[in-house]
Structure 1
Amino acid sequence: MIDYDPTRPKWEQIVDVLRARIVSGEYPPRTLISEVQLESEFGVARGTVRKATAALRDEGLIVTTPGMGSFVAEQA
């Protein structure tokens, strides 16, 4: 779990952590982004994780395939 800044929404802080992992290569392209694992790791509800993944999808960092899940996108 991370120490959350009480002045910012948790989902934004989770986005920051996940974005850093993707950019650094810790999460290489095609890595599965599991909502269940993120819930457990960050100690938050599914809705919070979904807001974070939606933001990453909007940034083009992840892609979601219905029935398969969310994966780190190939970076140009």
Structure 2
Amino acid sequence: MMEYDPTQPKWTQIAEVIRRRIASGEYPVNHLISETRLEQEFEVARVTVRKVTAALRAEGLIVTTPGMGSFVAAKPPTAQT
């Protein structure tokens, strides 16, 4: 289980972990970001995971397709340096 910093919301800490995984390539383009797996891995409620995916989607790191799930987005050309 992840050790959380009590001074920050859990969802922001989890989002940072996912950002690092995407940046490192651990989660490659089109990797499924499973809400159920995140709930289990981080031992949090679905509402917390939904805040994480909403934040990552707003940043353009993931895309969500209704009925299919959330996936790591393709990197924009300007981000590839």
What TM-score, normalized by structure 1, do the two folds share? 0.98
Name the % identity.
Answer: 71
Return the letter of the residue paired with 1:2: M
The residue that corresponds to 1:30 in the other structure is: 30
The residue that corresponds to 2:16 in the other structure is: 16
Distance 2:30 2:21 in 1: 13
Greater Cα radius of gyration, structure 1 or 2? 2
Unaligned runs of 5+ in 1: none
The residue that corresponds to 1:58 in the other structure is: 58
The residue that corresponds to 2:79 in the other structure is: none
Distance 2:10 2:3 in 1: 10
The residue that corresponds to 1:74 in the other structure is: 74
What TM-score, normalized by structure 2, do the two folds share? 0.92
Runs of 4 or more consecutive aligned structure 1 residues displaced over 4 Å after TM superposition: none
The residue that corresponds to 1:49 in the other structure is: 49
Unaligned runs of 5+ in 2: 77-81
Return the letter of the residue paired with 2:3: D
Return the letter of the residue paired with 2:40: S
